[in-house]
Amino acid sequence: MSRDKKPFDTSELGGSKDKRVARVERRAAGLVGTTRHKLRGRHDASPDMPAVRASNGDAIQCDAKSRREPMPKWVLDGLAACKRYTPGAHPVLLVYPLGGKPVAILPAEAFARLAGFQLPQAGEQLSLTPVKEKTDR
């Protein structure tokens, strides 16, 4: 590690790896209004949480990941640039990997808000559009 870089603060991620992963999964599930699937084997190919419906009715399957390494600088720089371009807008970084499909990177709170999982802040207009459940008919 170079002298000018500070080590990543892992104090919030303390405890055993299993406990840390469970804590991250609970936080992520809470962000989208659901609960973490608890009884799973360590290497089971099963979701961290059930799929949820966005406000437009689309199903969303989330997966939570925890890393001790900080987010890459180019990602943080891209999100910061989005905030500078239009203050108050949700920053979304679109990444086009060579030979792959583009991926959107955005802060979790912005994702939850855009997908309709969080209520508007005090003083904001509430949407009165009902959310219709999709059926398989």
Q: Considering the entire predicted model, what is its pTM?
A: 0.63
Does residue 2 lie within any of the structural domains?
Answer: no
The structural domain count of the chain equals: 2
Q: What pLDDT, on a 0 to 100 scale, did the predictor assign at position 131?
A: 39
Q: What pLDDT, on a 0 to 100 scale, did the predictor assign at position 83?
A: 95
Convert 25-60 to b/e letters by CB count within 10 Å (16 or more is b).
bbebbebbebebeeeeeeeeeeebbeebbeeeeeee
Residue with tokens 């399957």: 61
Does residue 53 lie within any of the structural domains?
Answer: yes
Does residue 133 lie within any of the structural domains?
Answer: no
Does residue 103 lie within any of the structural domains?
Answer: yes
Q: What pLDDT, on a 0 to 100 scale, did the predictor assign at position 6?
A: 42
60 and 82 share a domain? no
75 and 45 share a domain? no
Q: What pLDDT, on a 0 to 100 scale, did the predictor assign at position 118?
A: 65
User: Are the C-beta atoms of 30 and 108 separated by less than 8 Å?
Assistant: no
51 and 80 share a domain? no
Q: Is residue 76 classed as helix, strand or coil in its secondary structure?
A: helix
Q: What pLDDT, on a 0 to 100 scale, did the predictor assign at position 96?
A: 94
For 50-84, write each residue's pLDDT tens digit: 888 888 888 888 888 888 889 999 999 999 999 99
Q: Which residues of the chain have pLDDT under 70?
A: 1-15, 41-42, 118-137
* Count of CA atoms in the C-beta half-sphere (13 A) of 75: 10
Structural domain of 34:
13-66
74 and 91 share a domain? yes
